[in-house]
Structure 1
């Protein structure tokens, strides 16, 4: 008996699985079949598209198509599966038992913000199974009585599937540390976390450590505590409303000592929870910064700074709570490694929520300006439109019609006036970005990103085909310009030199023609101010500049 899993990817508020990430749910599904003695293969939907493998499932006894998006995003590494592609796979494979699973079954289908999900007709499927628990039940696996008693068996059992991912070993492995939302006062109007995962529950350190041991054997080098709605709340006792920071210390220390990852990041944090548990949260954040790797981001689901919108959609807490948490994250995470902060907050803003008006755009913008004027840093600002899912409270609420012209104007204003300025401070001239993986090119500019949470996009006039370390020499609105570490000025051509601050066309031409050999000759061409900039960059590049 054998099975083929086709990973159509998932993007949830508290889980990500679009390359170069792999969702933990893939390991769980693979583990369920492997524990039943069924050999299991794995393909991504992008591999299916590129290689024309639509009928590949006919070579197997079982075909499992997994996927579903519950938060909108823009993707570089891959494209989530569409409902028509799921239907095509089902119709093209008549021999195996066909199973569709994931959020597309649990809550419905949509790929774009500002739309309402619907239930697709997958009539060709033999089984529609919401999640890995229904898959385990289908395979007659004993659940052990609780969510994590099952998953603690499935995750290690299915870990070898990671090696089959086309990005491996340059792959970010999501780690499940908790499920559901820890809030005591209900959920946000648009919440799907509670629909998909039920009541809040955190996974035991013993279970996670067992998975760490297996991931080390597999050869995993990059991990993220991304399968969690609030990393800071790990170990939270809802009944007593208490948090034990020593559990987070043990968890993060175990990840560092066992896997010894090259990249170790987190994802979600609830700023309201942090503000309401300030002392304990401080200790947890200090543990994060002690063991994580540079360039990390904690995502704050702010959604709106408008008090009326916050109240109507039960977003919880206050704007003051949010500001407190942003300040705390800046204070603890400001330590820089090679010019890049260890940990910064990022915030999510959501539009299309009940109660929003034209005034909400101004309120959000003004609060971002306030953050900026106080010298606080945000790693990124995500601006999205709401996805509406049946089962969420927002489905039955009156929602505003989004003025798309105003929305786009607002988004570009924030990118131009806030994002771009934050980027210059977060990745200053001379900062080093390690391990940039090439992804695509536009004209003669070559782009790549390191592994990580919201990794920075690096564009370079110098072609690179392998993982490369870069020095920042310029800034865009959402990306930086870099030169590879070790670059030498006199080895660059005229086109590449133009990207260096203060050089320009004429100076680049003079540098190529004259190829200065002394410091004085270089200053004569570029001037003293530009030479100061060159000197700053040179110390980081390590090339034999003058």
Structure 2
């Protein structure tokens, strides 16, 4: 067995583009994953103890033109959604000083050429994935420039997945992790400040996510406390995290430490209740509109969909709806990692009772009243059904009349 050569990588990525047509999600909601390089810029230190990337050795970067030609071939084959996710750190693409420092200088020009060229092909979705927070923290100005480029050339809802893994400094040291809590906090601040503006699809343009792993060497009861305190500090400072990924170690390079299952469950519950839910409500308040939600599956009397992207938010419609299409939705409620929403605008002449019952200021009696009086010719007829005209006017902001 051996690794691909750059020549094989270049050739096969283009010749193999046609295979996207055989994917069951083609053409929508399929996302094509684009690799920029293999390996890790920290390979010479051994990298994180659990990670397989350092085993590939010194990073092998693909040239911008090779990546662009692959995307062109995929676009020609009908792909419209792309994630530049095949790397350990997007901000380290073609970085300068590889092998001289664990924190090589980001190459802003190379990233600009790559993103600008792909954006000219007008993809429906263009997202990135992994980012090393210590690179962002140690190269603040260049990282702000890159974040600005991502906001400019990529589509909203983008996520920089930070591989923090642990905020416990003992665990960080024993596992040679890539960033300190102070560096991660600084990186969270930078991405929030530069990427927090709301985009056309209803989501912030570019936010950080944080990965936390349990089962690492040196783990102890205090690890859970340190991790929770760190996440709480991010929330209290007013920053947003698009995604907190808490998982157990998959042991590739070494055996994992035994996990305290009770503490693990309690930690996840506390993060969901005290961090995830408040952040999601702040990010997407009730009444927020999400554009281009793809309806994927019916379960019982519910319909579930997501926007196409790297880490999409699950959207639940509390009624059955037609699948395999894009709709806009308006949010009525929140769970830990999902939202409840209605199609927007909601056609009251054809909407099921369950949808009308979910509208603000309605309830079962008003929903039944609306059903009995259908069809309506205009919005005012619906407003007139309400004794409280203010409530009726609020409902009018959610609905439409299709004859």
TM above 0.5, yes or no, is: yes
Whole-angstrom CA distance in 2 between matches of 1:188 and 1:450: 32
Show CA shifts across 1:425-463 (max 9, x none).
222333333332332222100112221111111111241
Find the counterpart in structure 1 of residue 37 from structure 2. 178
Matches within 5 A, 1:383-402: 383-389=246-252, 392=253, 394-395=254-255, 399-402=256-259
Q: How far is the alpha carbon of 1:531 from its aligned partner?
A: 4.8
Residue aligned with 1:226, SS:
strand
Find the counterpart in structure 2 of residue 286 from structure 1. 148
Change in CA separation of 1:284 and 1:440 when aligned onto 2, cut-off 3 Å: same
Contact between 1:340 and 1:431, CA under 8 Å: does it hold in 2?
A: no
Residue aligned with 1:275, SS:
helix
Find the counterpart in structure 2 of residue 509 from structure 1. 368
Change in CA separation of 1:290 and 1:203 when aligned onto 2, cut-off 3 Å: same
Pick aligned residue for 2:80 from 221, 243, 248 = 221
Whole-angstrom CA distance in 2 between matches of 1:410 and 1:199: 36
Q: Does 1:329 align with 2:191?
A: yes
Matches within 5 A, 1:21-40: none
Q: Does 1:346 align with 2:209?
A: yes
Contact between 1:223 and 1:264, CA under 8 Å: does it hold in 2?
A: yes
Find the counterpart in structure 1 of residue 11 from structure 2. 153
Find the counterpart in structure 2 of residue 191 from structure 1. 51
Q: Does 1:441 align with 2:304?
A: no
Q: How far is the alpha carbon of 1:405 from its aligned partner?
A: 2.2
Residue aligned with 1:182, SS:
coil
Whole-angstrom CA distance in 2 between matches of 1:235 and 1:534: 52
Matches within 5 A, 1:527-542: 528=390, 530-531=391-392, 533-534=394-395, 537-538=397-398
Whole-angstrom CA distance in 2 between matches of 1:409 and 1:502: 36
Whole-angstrom CA distance in 2 between matches of 1:454 and 1:363: 25
Q: Does 1:361 align with 2:224?
A: yes
Q: Does 1:232 align with 2:94?
A: no
CA RMSD of the aligned region, Å? 2.3
Contact between 2:315 and 2:339, CA under 8 Å: does it hold in 1?
A: yes
Change in CA separation of 1:322 and 1:532 when aligned onto 2, cut-off 3 Å: farther
Q: How far is the alpha carbon of 1:250 from its aligned partner?
A: 0.6
Q: How far is the alpha carbon of 1:479 from its aligned partner?
A: 1.2
Show CA shifts across 1:332-385 (max 9, x none).
111212432111111111011111112211221121111111111111111100
Pick aligned residue for 2:387 from 524, 537, 540 = 524
Matches within 5 A, 1:54-133: 129=1, 133=4
Whole-angstrom CA distance in 2 between matches of 1:378 and 1:531: 35
Q: How far is the alpha carbon of 1:520 from its aligned partner?
A: 5.4
Matches within 5 A, 1:300-311: 300-311=162-173
Whole-angstrom CA distance in 2 between matches of 1:486 and 1:368: 36
Find the counterpart in structure 2 of residue 296 from structure 1. 158
Contact between 2:34 and 2:83, CA under 8 Å: does it hold in 1?
A: yes
Show CA shifts across 1:54-89 (max 9, x none).
xxxxxxxxxxxxxxxxxxxxxxxxxxxxxxxxxxxx
Whole-angstrom CA distance in 2 between matches of 1:246 and 1:333: 19
State which drifts further: 423-432 or 185-194: 423-432
Contact between 2:329 and 2:342, CA under 8 Å: does it hold in 1?
A: yes
Contact between 1:432 and 1:469, CA under 8 Å: does it hold in 2?
A: no
Change in CA separation of 1:400 and 1:209 when aligned onto 2, cut-off 3 Å: closer
Residue aligned with 2:312, SS:
coil
Find the counterpart in structure 2 of residue 424 from structure 1. 281
Whole-angstrom CA distance in 2 between matches of 1:149 and 1:467: 39
Show CA shifts across 1:176-209 (max 9, x none).
11111112644011011123x3321221112112
Change in CA separation of 1:531 and 1:378 when aligned onto 2, cut-off 3 Å: farther
TM-score by length of 2: 0.89
Q: Does 1:374 align with 2:234?
A: no
Q: How far is the alpha carbon of 1:252 from its aligned partner?
A: 0.1
Whole-angstrom CA distance in 2 between matches of 1:481 and 1:406: 29
Unaligned runs of 5+ in 2: none
Find the counterpart in structure 2 of residue 317 from structure 1. 179
Residue aligned with 2:119, SS:
helix
Contact between 2:294 and 2:327, CA under 8 Å: does it hold in 1?
A: no
Whole-angstrom CA distance in 1 between matches of 2:382 and 2:322: 29
Q: How far is the alpha carbon of 1:233 from its aligned partner?
A: 1.0
Change in CA separation of 1:268 and 1:463 when aligned onto 2, cut-off 3 Å: same
Residue aligned with 1:336, SS:
coil
